[in-house]
């Protein structure tokens, strides 16, 4: 409570007066406060009441994840944590797994609930739902029954991406936007993966997107910075079973100048196309 736990005020007839009592809360929990009022001139004029306030942090002050491996008994799971974490108020969640895939749990859960909706973000959110299905025993978040959800996250992601398809066949960053080359290549890659995983992706939409990407890779690469998108488009086409071997060869002859990411995508395109 503030400096003055008791205050004297004069209340005019048929009026009211606001009284301020600053409170300082030093911990979490339920706060119980008793308020009493009495008259200095009459012992019968008095009243009181209680109020309760749930005191908690508006948001977690800190979220921290720690991974460690052990081949022996562990007596104190928190031993390796810094003192400020060991002594903090909050909740500790402990998981035990025999697979190193467990280290992907937090990152995958973040992507599963990724809140935004442009083509790149929608694709990034859709990827873990598609690629990690076989790791449901390691990533419990994937075990939610998508059939009972109001909206299946995979179906929603596919439909969201297709809502950004333009008249050219490519994808825009947002619905009703202009065709974007990176969005078309990256979103197309995710849609192709979905199709390979047996998900329902309209064939006509994929054919139009594939035709756009073929036109894209046939266009000369004028700047070194364009090789990343070029090789991503080649990989996406390979996933779509629309491989362009001649353009694989052309990019491979220039491999010395390709960025590492572009070279990896080109290699993946070659492997996928056989």
Same-domain status, 225 and 264: yes
Residue labelled with tokens 């022996």: 72
**Beta 29-38 vs 46-55: how paired, if at all?**
antiparallel
Together in a domain, 235 and 193: no
Q: How confident is the model at residue 150 (pLDDT cuts 50, 70, 90)?
A: very low
Specify if 95 maps to a domain: no
Instruction: Count structural domains, the chain.
Output: 2
Q: With bands split at pLDDT 50, 70 and 90, how would you rate the model's confidence at 2?
A: very low
pLDDT in tens, 174-229: 999 999 999 999 999 999 999 999 999 999 999 999 999 999 999 999 888 899 99
Identify whether 156 is part of a domain: yes
Q: What is the pLDDT of residue 113?
A: 62
Could you give the percent of the chain with pLDDT greater than 90?
42
137 pLDDT exceeds 60?
yes
Shared-domain flag, residues 126 and 190: yes
Shared domain check, 181 and 118: yes
Domain boundary among 204, 239, 260: 204
Residues 120 and 175 in one domain: yes
229/268 same-domain check: yes
Whether residue 61 lies inside any domain: the answer is: no
Residue 29: beta bridge partners? 55
Of 228 and 74, more confident: 228
For the stretch 86-118, pLDDT in tens is: 777 777 777 777 777 666 666 666 666 666 689
> What is the pTM assigned to this prediction?
0.61
Regarding whether 112 and 196 lie in a shared domain, the answer is: yes
Q: Tell whether 182 and 258 lie within a shared domain.
A: no
pLDDT, position 6: 81
On whether both 198 and 235 belong to a single domain, the answer is no
Mean pLDDT of 25-36: 84
Residues in the chain: 274
Residue 170 included in any domain = yes
| Domain assignment present for 13 | no
The answer to the question of residue 125 being in a domain is: yes
How many CB atoms neighbour CB 142 within 10 A?
A: 19
pLDDT for position 1? 43
Question: Which one of 150, 169, 204 terminates a domain?
Answer: 204
- What residues make up the domain containing 233? 220-274
Residue 28 lies in a domain: no
* Half-sphere exposure in the Cβ direction for 148 (13 Å, CA): 3
Residues 162 and 238 in one domain: no
For the segment 246-260, what is each residue's pLDDT rounded down to a tens digit?
999 999 999 988 999
| Range from 55-59, 214-218, 229-233 carrying the lowest mean pLDDT | 55-59
Same structural domain for residues 184 and 157? Answer: yes
Q: Are residues 225 and 269 in the same domain?
A: yes
Candidate from 34-38, 106-110, 146-150, 238-242 with smallest mean pLDDT:
146-150
Looking at residue 62, its pLDDT comes to: 66
Q: Token pair of 232, please?
A: 């991503």
Residue 214 lies in a domain: no
């Amino acid at each position: 409570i503030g400096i003055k736990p008791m205050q004297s005020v004069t209340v005019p007839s048929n009026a009211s007066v606001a009284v301020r009592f600053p409170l300082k809360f030093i911990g979490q929990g339920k706060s119980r406060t008793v308020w009493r009022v009495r008259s200095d001139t009459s012992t019968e004029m008095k009243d009181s009441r209680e109020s309760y306030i749930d005191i908690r942090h508006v948001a977690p002050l800190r979220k921290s994840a720690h991974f460690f491996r052990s081949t022996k008994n562990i007596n104190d799971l928190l031993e390796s944590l810094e003192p400020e974490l060991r002594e903090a108020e909050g909740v500790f969640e402990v998981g035990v797994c025999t697979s190193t895939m467990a280290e992907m749990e937090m990152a995958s859960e973040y992507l599963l609930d990724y809140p935004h909706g442009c083509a790149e973000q929608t694709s990034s959110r859709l990827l873990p739902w598609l690629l990690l299905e076989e790791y449901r025993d390691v990533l419990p978040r994937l075990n939610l029954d998508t059939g009972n959800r109001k909206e299946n996250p995979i179906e929603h992601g596919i439909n969201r991406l297709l809502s950004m398809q333009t008249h050219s066949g490519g994808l825009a960053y947002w619905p009703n936007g202009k065709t974007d080359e990176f969005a078309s290549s990256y979103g197309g890659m995710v849609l192709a993966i979905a199709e390979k995983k047996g998900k329902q992706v309209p064939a006509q939409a994929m054919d139009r997107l594939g035709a756009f990407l073929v036109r894209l890779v046939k266009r000369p690469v004028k700047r070194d910075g364009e090789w990343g998108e070029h090789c991503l488009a080649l990989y996406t086409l390979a996933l779509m079973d629309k491989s362009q071997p001649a353009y694989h060869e052309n990019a491979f002859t220039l491999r010395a100048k390709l960025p590492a990411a572009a070279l990896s995508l080109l290699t993946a395109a070659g492997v996928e196309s056989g």
